[in-house]
Amino acid sequence: MSKRINGTGTVYKLSDVKRRRPWVAKVTRGFEEAKKENGIPKFKQSYKVIGYYENKKEAEEALNDYIGVSYNKDALRLLFSDVYIQWSNSNEQLSNSSKTSYNAAFNGLSHLHDLYFDSIKTADIELAITKSNKNYPMIKKMQILLNQLYNYAIGNDIVDKNYSKFVKFDKYKKAYKKKIKNVYKESEIEYIWKNSGELIYRILLILLYTGLRISELLELKTKDLNLQERYITITNSKTNNGIRKVPIPSCIYQMVLHQYNKNKEYFLYDGAYKYNYGQIRVLFDNFKKKSNMNHTIHETRHTYTSRLRLRGVDSTFTKKLTGHSAGNVDEDTYTHFGIGDLYKIVNDAFEEDMKYVG
């Protein structure tokens, strides 16, 4: 294709050389819904072909004439939301958890949605962040998304400068006070065990005794559970350290076995469909109201680590079991232990919790 100034159309030659008029002139009209995948609409660019011509010069002249007479410049410029749709469609390999994270960041930047991408400046981005009223962890996700969108836009000649690089994101970090991590009390864990007939309680127990992130549990595939040797392989995680094997202690083994269905691709299913974070969020909110507990789902991981430490498990193991780097110190110590050794360490630590198993 012939490269022109962004938004002024394109000219290219068809591969069929037998055509008398092989040169095409066309302009982008916008986006149209192409299909839906798991209920999520997918979009593709729509074009208007100006005409077919014998040579490149004729095609260029026709396109220039069309732009001069009929062209509405704003109709061909891309909004921030248009660029997000384009970028998202070009990254279909992203995991569902990553898509959820990027969608949340995109929604947080709602002040930018209807602005032309090539008109956005640093001040617009800072205003969008301020209006979002989000905490620093979400602002960090916005920063990552903005860099992704600008890299895409620069690579596709939509803009030539990344204005998000001029935003001082550190000031939001300094203003953010990390929330105190509250571990689940033993009395609360006992309460959860007593109500384990309901799905959300079973999910919480699996998280409490494996230290998995909720995103890791949602993306866990049936094939990644080794029930014979009693461990889970995490193959889809937000970090390299997150790729790991996690023991299934005896106290929750029957619970995992009950949920396991070899005919399903994923471990967590709602009838015929895989559970998503939104469904879990609703279940967890109902759990909080019913139990009067003020916790987050993520605090199950802190509880897992804390309880293992209190029961004598070294921090090197707790960090690696939860997918964090243990640093260089004692790294070799961990690598010499196989999954059988790890299972014994974790199972012994939680042995007293067999009292909750009915």
- Determine, yes or no, domain membership for 323: yes
Q: Same domain for 309 and 215?
A: yes
Q: Same domain for 147 and 199?
A: no
Q: Same domain for 128 and 234?
A: no
> What domain count does the chain have?
3
Predicted confidence at residue 62, as pLDDT, reads 85
- Determine, yes or no, domain membership for 1: no
Is 326's pLDDT higher than 70? no
Q: Coil, strand, or helix at residue 299?
A: helix
Summarised one tens digit per residue, pLDDT across range 146-201 is: 999 999 988 887 888 999 999 988 887 766 655 567 899 999 999 999 999 999 99
In angstroms, rounded to a whole number, what is the distance separating the alpha carbons of residues 354 and 358? 9
In angstroms, rounded to a whole number, what is the distance separating the alpha carbons of residues 128 and 121? 11
Q: Same domain for 198 and 303?
A: yes
What mean pLDDT is predicted for residues 127-156? 90
- Determine, yes or no, domain membership for 348: yes
Q: Same domain for 199 and 344?
A: yes
Q: Same domain for 151 and 270?
A: no
CA dihedral for 345, 350, 352, 356, sign (positive or negative): negative
What mean pLDDT is predicted for residues 128-133? 89
Q: Which of 50, 74, 98 is the last residue of a domain?
A: 74
Ranges of beta strands (E only) in 38-129 are 40-53
Q: Coil, strand, or helix at residue 48?
A: strand
Boundaries of domain holding 316: 186-356
Q: How many CA atoms lie within 13 A of 236 on its CB side?
A: 18
Chain-centre distance of CA 87, in angstroms? 14
Which residue, among 141, 347, 113, has the nearest Cα to 252 in the 3D structure? Answer: 347
In angstroms, rounded to a whole number, what is the distance separating the alpha carbons of residues 275 and 119? 39
Look up the CATH number of the domain holding residue 127: 1.10.150
Chain-centre distance of CA 183, in angstroms? 25
Q: Same domain for 93 and 239?
A: no
Query: Percent of the chain, pLDDT > 90?
Result: 44
Predicted confidence at residue 158, as pLDDT, reads 85
Query: Percent of the chain, pLDDT > 70?
Result: 83
- Determine, yes or no, domain membership for 5: no
In angstroms, rounded to a whole number, what is the distance separating the alpha carbons of residues 51 and 20? 13
Q: Same domain for 33 and 66?
A: yes
Which residue, among 105, 92, 81, 48, has the nearest Cα to 153 in the 3D structure? Answer: 81
Q: Which of 29, 51, 74 is the last residue of a domain?
A: 74
**Tokens of residue 163, six digits:** 């204005």
Summarised one tens digit per residue, pLDDT across range 33-47 is: 566 555 555 556 667
Q: Which of 52, 74, 96 is the last residue of a domain?
A: 74
Look up the CATH number of the domain holding residue 347: 1.10.443.10
Q: How many CA atoms lie within 13 A of 305 on its CB side?
A: 19
Q: Same domain for 171 and 197?
A: no
Q: Which residue in this structure is represented by tokens 């990390």?
A: 178
pTM value is 0.55
In angstroms, rounded to a whole number, what is the distance separating the alpha carbons of residues 68 and 71? 6
